[in-house]
């Protein structure tokens, strides 16, 4: 791509930018409508839209772009409640938009005080991301009248694709200066990164381009069979055989560090883990070759209790009751806990609950990461489906890193507060994984995603 360089040394006051193909590197909205169809409606609508992809492509080829867009909007939204579309726009799409964001365009956008985003997609699909993560003041979508610019001063700068590639000529003509490609902005303003996407939900891990979407549909029947085999295997096979079963079912577990041996005396070790999937504690048990109880929150489906080959200790979110329960289990032996309290799919470690630090000094941090191909739990579905969708992935690649037990001077017994200990463990786990620490926790996640 040819880069144009502007001679400006000061930032313009306002900018209006095209979303597709300018702020986003991709100019094809198809995959985002596929995400909306999958998470707001399900596989049937997802399949119908995929089968109509040749039609929408031909319409674009023969310059019927508006007809192509209207067809995608109709198929992906007809019959949906507006709240369903808003839910997907809030919980699912931001992660994929951020992955596709053009940092060159962001540098220009971020240098301007008033930011306006224009999109071909319905405004509801873009507004949350643009305002929350790009600090846009306004988002204009296909359902709004573009000539509303006439009601306010002209934007100083317009960013869009070249006229031959874009439908953005109308709004660009209303700007004082027009730039048709991402630019290298030659000014003295320090560029801040866009607000990161920390929380992400939704059923698909990859943006469903036509090829990816077809692969997912073809894999679905095999994935369901594979999930049933994996679940039954975890339920039936003895623990000592599990490493062999895992490798035969296209799963890989890489272990780093030296796990502590089983304690010979009374009391156990508390394994404090980062939280990437619902089976993290189970993988710890498989790695150590012995059944270790795991702490889970109380609102998870009892489906996990039935299928889990390791004992489950349920929290009810009463600090005194939960603390006493954990202490009782630690007196019996080892215990696994994920103090984040919720899964984070992005490269962040959420804020830790400090209660674990009050109960024992025998704390072993365990850094867990997991890479899987297609699926996570579908948006707003029964949480018991999480296990099924996780095991439907063609491969599961776990990496478990056992760190050294915390030294005495890093525990509460040395005078450290529980919060100091929790923050220290969070930090060393994040450093091991190459992730970032965040002060946001479980409550913040559900405030964002609900």
Summarised one tens digit per residue, pLDDT across range 238-283 is: 777 777 777 778 888 899 998 887 766 677 899 999 999 888 888 8
Q: What is the distance between the alpha carbons of residues 425 and 273, in angstroms, rounded to a whole number?
A: 9
Q: What is the distance between the alpha carbons of residues 117 and 234, in angstroms, rounded to a whole number?
A: 49
- Residue given tokens 């946001």 in the structure block: 440
- pTM exceeding the 0.75 threshold for the entire prediction: yes
Note the pLDDT of residue 178. 67
| 114-128, 334-348, 369-383: least confident range | 369-383
Q: Which domains does the chain have, with CATH numbers?
A: 4-184 (3.40.50), 219-449 (3.40.1130)
- Residue given tokens 């839209």 in the structure block: 49
Sequence-separated (6 or more) residues with CB below 8 Å from residue 74: none
Q: What is the distance between the alpha carbons of residues 409 and 404, in angstroms, rounded to a whole number?
A: 13
Strands 436-437 and 348-349: parallel
User: Could you tell me the CA-to-CA distances from 63 to 15, 22, 56, 166 in Å, in that order?
Assistant: 28, 20, 11, 11
φ/ψ of 230, rounded to 5, equals -65, -45
Summarised one tens digit per residue, pLDDT across range 146-158 is: 344 444 666 767 7
- The runs of H, that is alpha helices, within 312-449 are 319-332, 355-359, 385-391, 418-433, 442-449
Summarised one tens digit per residue, pLDDT across range 323-332 is: 888 999 898 8
Q: What is the distance between the alpha carbons of residues 433 and 414, in angstroms, rounded to a whole number?
A: 27
Closest CA to 91 of 382, 346, 384, 373: 346
Strands 4-5 and 348-349: unpaired
Percent of the chain whose pLDDT exceeds 70: 84
Sequence-separated (6 or more) residues with CB below 8 Å from residue 328: none
């Amino acid at each position: 791509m040819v880069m144009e360089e502007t001679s400006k040394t000061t930032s313009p006051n306002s900018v209006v930018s095209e979303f597709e193909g300018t702020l986003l590197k991709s100019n094809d909205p198809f995959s985002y409508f596929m995400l909306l169809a999958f998470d707001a409606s399900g596989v049937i609508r997802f399949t119908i839209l995929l089968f109509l992809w040749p039609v929408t492509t031909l319409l674009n080829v023969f310059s019927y772009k508006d007809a192509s867009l209207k067809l995608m909007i109709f198929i992906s939204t007809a019959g949906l409640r507006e709240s369903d579309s808003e839910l997907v726009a809030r919980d699912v799409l931001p992660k994929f938009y951020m992955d596709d964001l053009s940092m060159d365009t962001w540098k220009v956008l971020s240098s301007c005080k008033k930011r306006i985003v224009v999109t071909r997609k319905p405004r509801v699909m873009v507004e949350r991301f643009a305002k929350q993560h790009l600090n846009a003041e306004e988002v204009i979508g296909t359902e709004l009248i573009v000539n509303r610019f006439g009601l306010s001063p002209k934007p100083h700068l317009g960013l869009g694709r070249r006229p031959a590639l874009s439908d953005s000529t109308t709004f660009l003509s209303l700007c004082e200066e027009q730039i048709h490609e991402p630019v290298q902005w030659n000014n003295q303003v320090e560029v801040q990164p866009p607000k990161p996407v920390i929380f992400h939900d939704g059923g698909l891990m990859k943006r469903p381009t036509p090829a990816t979407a077809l692969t997912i549909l073809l894999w679905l029947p095999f994935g369901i069979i594979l999930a049933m085999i994996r679940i039954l295997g975890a339920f039936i096979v003895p623990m000592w055989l599990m490493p062999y079963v895992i490798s035969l079912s296209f799963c890989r577990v890489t272990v780093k560090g030296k796990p502590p041996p089983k304690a010979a005396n009374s009391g156990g070790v508390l394994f404090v883990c980062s939280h990437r999937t619902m089976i993290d504690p189970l993988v710890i048990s498989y790695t150590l070759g012995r059944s270790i109880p795991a702490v889970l929150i109380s609102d998870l489906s009892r489906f996990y209790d039935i299928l889990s080959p390791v004992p489950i200790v349920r929290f009810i979110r009463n600090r005194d009751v939960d603390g006493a329960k954990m202490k009782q289990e630690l007196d019996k032996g080892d215990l696994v806990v994920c103090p984040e309290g919720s899964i984070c799919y992005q490269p962040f470690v959420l804020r830790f609950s400090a209660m674990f630090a009050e109960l024992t000094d025998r704390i072993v941090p365990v850094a867990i990461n997991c890479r899987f191909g297609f699926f996570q739990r579908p948006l707003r579905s029964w949480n018991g489906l999480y296990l099924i969708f996780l095991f439907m992935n063609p491969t599961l690649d776990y990496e478990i890193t056992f760190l050294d037990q915390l030294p005495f001077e890093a525990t509460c017994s040395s005078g450290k507060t529980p919060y100091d200990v929790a923050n220290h463990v969070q930090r060393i786990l994040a450093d091991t994984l190459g992730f970032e620490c965040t002060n946001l926790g479980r409550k913040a996640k559900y405030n964002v995603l609900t």
